[in-house]
Amino acid sequence: MDRLGRVWSKLSIRRPVLATTEAALDVDETPDTKNEVFQMFAGTSSTPAGAGPQRRKSDVSHKRVVLDNVQNGNRRKSGESAHHKARLTDPDIIRSFPVVDVPSLEHAATVTDMNVPECSKESGEDAVVNSPRRSSFVDRGSVTMDSIKKINLEDVYTVNKQLGTGRFGYVKLAEHKQSMKKIAIKFFPRPQTKQADFVREYNYSVFLSPHQNIIDTFEGMFQSVNDSAFFFVQEFCPRASLREAVEATNQNGIGEANAKKVFAAVLSAMEFMHDENLVHRNLKAENILIFDTHDFSKVKVTDFGLTRKVDATVKYLEYVNNYHAPELCETVVNEVLTVNRSTDVWALGIIFFYCMKGRFPWQKASIMCKAYWEWEQWLKRKNPTLPKKFLPFSEKALKLFKKTLTPRPKDRWTAKDMRKCIAKEKILKNIKKNDIYYVPEFSKPQSERNVEGNSKRSTLQQWISTTLTAMAEISEQVVSARDD
């Protein structure tokens, strides 16, 4: 079994879907027989469920997505297969379809097939854009061979408030009319969004969905009837992004125990992606969704719009943000870059600092930024004084920062190294009471919020009253001395 095969066996799922993804164009991992594919999804996988740290989600919806992808691939290459028919008639599998299911969309008023371009080339951000229209289905390079369906959104969903917005689109909360389940719809406005970019993001999102710390994406690519947007459907995160969770702590950070929980989840997802030769390229607190802000027990990574294969070449189109590694900060727009896991590792280091301290270590990883320059000077031993903001961290945590926030990409740790370090080691020098029993500010009643701020205020008040008392005593003594 090859290395990737082992990863998939850890997930207790085989990886036939890879045969149709960008990530595996060079590897033919299609199961030997169609029967194997069918057995696998009927629950006869050789690896026991739950094995390994990256246990596969039990959510049956993934079976459906992956199964459909595999079978669509087979079917569309070789006509309607016996196993496709078997799937449609197998009661267990049919029962396993979630209620929020794409087939319901077939009932939409208008459903029109759209061509899907090939999205297998990785020679640049624009490489896929101008590929000619092909037949209705993609040959290779896409998880799904499905077409984009035109639907009347209002027929199927009640669209509610906006959940978030980004550079590429916006996410809205919606209710699936038939099942009354809440879901999130990610919209990509047209004509700004190229069809190839939309298809690629959808494919990566579906492909990565089986991991328990990656957002679930439901099957189906859609386009609104008025041609205003492409969209796909994801599970809804009812709480907050990590950004909101950290911002709500008034720059205190979410505490060591919670940061460890968040990181165990995020690193597991990143290890999975990196083992599949994929780089997220847009890791940031906004793209980490917290499903339970009280105990941080369910955390998922989202937004695979910039995800690319390792070693792919892409044009740099970004604006610099807090999470960018120095090599990206030095890059000029349109410069060609080679995609590397180490940029994700840098971003993970920044996110870890942000979770612990409630603020970023620097605005930009450039020596023009004093805070970064000080860190780099210390790393290079040009200045023996550790920047003050790193003082609370333990030796092991400092090692983690040295090995992730290091300017040379080759010197950076892997996600796996980070996971091991964070799982075993203590992060802060002294355990603060707040770390153990930390309750995020936004989940407390208004009256109890900002306890730390209150205690700081009361300390200040004590200091002022002591000083005033002392001054009053001194002035009394001065007056009585003068009277004498």
Q: Which is nearer to ligand ATP, 133 or 167 (CB)?
A: 167
Q: Which of 117, 164, 220, 407 binds ligand ATP (CB under 6 A)?
A: 164
Which residue's CB comes closest to ligand ATP?
Answer: 166
Structure-token match 């993970």, residue found: 348
Let me know if 282 is a catalytic residue. yes
Tell me if 74 contacts ligand ATP by CB under 6 A. no
Q: Which of 16, 73, 141, 169 binds ligand ATP (CB under 6 A)?
A: 169
Q: Is 161 annotated as a binding residue?
A: no
Tell me if 286 contacts ligand ATP by CB under 6 A. yes
Stretch that binds ligand ATP, among 162-170, 191-199, 397-405, 454-462 (CB under 6 A): 162-170
Cβ contacts of 434 within 8 Å, gap of 6 or more: 252, 255, 452
Cα gap 420→431, rounded to integer Å: 20
Catalytic residue among 203, 252, 258, 282: 282
Cβ contacts of 98 within 8 Å, gap of 6 or more: 59, 60, 61, 64, 218
Q: Which of 122, 303, 374, 376 binds ligand ATP (CB under 6 A)?
A: 303
Cα gap 218→407, rounded to integer Å: 39
Helix (H, G, I), strand (E, B) or coil at 314: strand
Q: Which is nearer to ligand ATP, 99 or 468 (CB)?
A: 99
Q: Half-sphere exposure (CA, 13 Å, Cβ side) for 370? A: 2
Q: Can you read off the two tokens belonging to residue 8?
A: 């998939």
Q: C-beta of 171: minimal distance to ligand ATP in Å?
A: 4
Q: How many CB atoms lie within 10 A of CB 384?
A: 7
Cα gap 289→160, rounded to integer Å: 19
Stretch that binds ligand ATP, among 30-38, 71-79, 164-172, 455-463 (CB under 6 A): 164-172
Structure-token match 């939309």, residue found: 198
Q: C-beta of 340: minimal distance to ligand ATP in Å?
A: 19
Tell me if 314 contacts ligand ATP by CB under 6 A. no
Residue 100 and residue 233 in contact, taking contact as beta carbons nearer than 8 Å: yes
Stretch that binds ligand ATP, among 32-40, 160-168, 395-403, 462-470 (CB under 6 A): 160-168
Cα gap 350→370, rounded to integer Å: 16
Stretch that binds ligand ATP, among 37-45, 64-72, 301-309, 408-416 (CB under 6 A): 301-309
Cα gap 339→331, rounded to integer Å: 13
Task: Extract the annotated binding site.
Answer: 186
Catalytic positions are: 282
Contacting positions for ligand ATP (CB under 6 A): 163-169, 171, 184, 186, 215, 234-237, 241, 282, 286-287, 289, 302-303, 305
